[in-house]
Chains A and B, each alone.
Chain A
Amino acid sequence: MSRAARTLALGALLLFIALPLVQSVVLSFTATLPHDGVEPGSFTLLNYRHIFETPALVASIGNSFLYVSLNVALCLAAGLPAAYAFSRYRFTGDRHMLFFILAFRVTPPVVLSLPIFILFAQLGLVNSPVGIALVHCVFNLPIAIWILESFISAVPREFDETAFLDGQSLPGFFVTRLIPAIAPGIGVTMFFCFIFSWVEVVFARILTVTGGKPITMAINALFSFRTDIGLVMAMTVFSLLPGVLMIVFVRRHIARGFVIRT
């Protein structure tokens, strides 16, 4: 492909990706409803100020962070030993178990939403960040196991054996040797778990009936007869920031460190 055609293609691609984002940023700085002293259509910072003046919106940011962090912690804590087992041991039913766990990544959330609500209502986990953090494991734990397994398998087995010969216990080995050795894998896992939990809507909606609403639901609640689109977009732009930070954080490993086993 010629140099000019390549530049043109990449330019078109960037434009395509940027357009909806630029549209949202522009609207977030535009007064879309008449407010005191600001003409609709003019530039304003009011939308962002309104975020911080609306307690429900501020609370939703905290709620989202809480359950997403909990979910990432859970997926790492449960996913790491499981990934290690799949990578290092042969055991009865191992391949079936791996397919079985991955099958839940492809189970549509709508399928499970109703019984999960009923079950969690009985356990007292509705309106609680713990509930959402647990439920998001349905799709994030399989992803975590899959990514971590491929990173652990890239570490030579001798690495483990040396540690055990030194008299290290399995938990000790995990914390002091394995985790530092697969640090990029931990980062990539955190990235995917974080974003999939952050953007999820179906479970987050049914599990927050009266309280604990995440950003996504707080934005939904802004839609009314007279929706302040500017405020909606300001909140949307705001909701992108953690994800953008995560992208910057894992940029070196997002493609290069991502070993895919066939």
Chain B
Amino acid sequence: MQIAMTPLNNRAWLLLLPAVTIMGLVAVLPLLTVLNYSFHDIFTLESRYWIGLEWYEEIITSGRFWASLARSTLFSALVLSIQVPLGIAVALLLRSTRHPTLYLMALALPLVVPWNMIPGMWLSLVGPQGLIGPSLIAAGFDYKFTTVHTWALLLTMDTWHWLGLVVILSYAGLSAIPAPYYQAAEIDGASRAAIFRHIELPKIAGALAIVLLLRFVDSFMIYTEAFRINAGGPQGATTFLSLDLGEDINAYSYGSAAARAMTYFLIVITVVWAFVQTTRRRPA
């Protein structure tokens, strides 16, 4: 028997109508179109031929796809393992400062920079006339031709761009911890690590889940920033999944691009779904 505090009321669907209509038009309909295109060979949009799963077969049997997938996976893994611990550490640090709002405002600044401007700012900074460029170049930094340096620059730039989001959401979670929790822990003589593990981590778990998902998707599909830094180079070392897709679109290979897009969509949705399933089972 259901003892719901909330009334079961299907008229609630009426309230969803505006949102569902918009999402249907700009999200569902386009997604179905991509799905349809992915089964076709498209010369022009008027003349297309059903070819079934051929594009998908071509993609998953190509070395290019697996290499990009490996690069994107590695990039996301690095982004998450740098930004999430760092963001939590900064949020904890801000808890003990007198003016946390000022730091949060500063950390939010990179979030309001248009995405296509970020690479330009960083390239100016590390360029020969930049503020830190000359000393970096003297130390042997060469992002154009050295793979590790391109990766380092991309990761630094991405951390600069998104650290604020991790900090803001973690900080919001930490702020919701009532002071008596800390006092009780102090009386029990709990260590700093124990406080983090048993009081703070559970409180920010919800926020962290959101952060992990958003950071995973956006880093996995990084396009604008990666392209402007080194156009996927040196020698394809930063050609991520979305740069591959961009190549297909630029070559007007719509059928192949659609199949590629669907493949990425399925990967992302599978990861998100698996993540939601595993976090839901564990009581927070």
Task: Give A residues with C-beta under 8 Å from B.
Answer: 1, 6, 9-10, 13-14, 16-24, 26-27, 74, 77-79, 81-82, 84-85, 88-92, 94, 97, 99, 101, 103-116, 118-119, 134-135, 137-138, 141, 145, 157, 195, 198-202, 215-216, 219-220, 229, 232-233, 236, 239-240, 242-244, 246-248, 251-252, 254-256, 258-262
Contact = CB atoms under 8 A, between A and B. Distances in A.
Contact of A219 (B19, B20, B114, B209): B114
Given A23-B124, A236-B121, 13 more contacts: A17-B160, A81-B19, A82-B19, A85-B16, A89-B7, A103-B272, A108-B220, A115-B258, A199-B115, A201-B116, A258-B172, A260-B173, A260-B206
Interface string B174-199: 01100000000000000000000000
Nearest to A203: B26
Contact of B112 (A135, A220, A247): A247
Q: Which 4 interchain pairs have the tightest Cβ spacing? A: A243-B112, A262-B206, A115-B33, A89-B12
B101 A21 contact: no
User: Which secondary structure dominates where chain A touches chain B?
Assistant: helix
A17 B224 CA distance: 20
B168 A255 contact: yes
B257 A255 contact: no
Given A114-B249, A243-B112, A119 B30 contact: yes
Contacts of B176: 259-260
Given A78-B19, A240-B112, A16 B269 contact: no
Contacts of A19: 125, 131-132
User: Which secondary structure dominates where chain B touches chain A?
Assistant: helix
A90 B7 contact: yes
B104 A110 contact: no
Interface in B205-247: 205-207, 209-210, 213-214, 217, 220-221, 223-224, 242, 245-246
A142 to B, nearest CB: 8
12 contacts: A20-B110, A78-B21, A79-B19, A81-B19, A82-B18, A103-B269, A105-B214, A108-B242, A135-B26, A201-B114, A233-B124, A246-B112
Interface residues of B, number: 94
Nearest to A23: B125
Of A198, A229, A248, A255, most B-chain CB atoms within 10 Å: A255
Contact of B31 (A91, A99, A107, A201): A107
B116 A220 contact: yes
A17 B272 CA distance: 30
Of B5, B109, B214, most A-chain CB atoms within 10 Å: B109
B62 to A, nearest CB: 19
B185 to A, nearest CB: 17
A24 B261 CA distance: 35
Contacts of B34: 111-112, 114-115
Nearest to A131: B26
Nearest to B34: A115
A247 B223 contact: no
A94 B12 contact: yes
A200 B10 CA distance: 36
Contacts of B90: 13
Contact of B245 (A17, A110, A259): A110
Contacts of A108: 217, 220-221, 242, 261, 264-265, 268
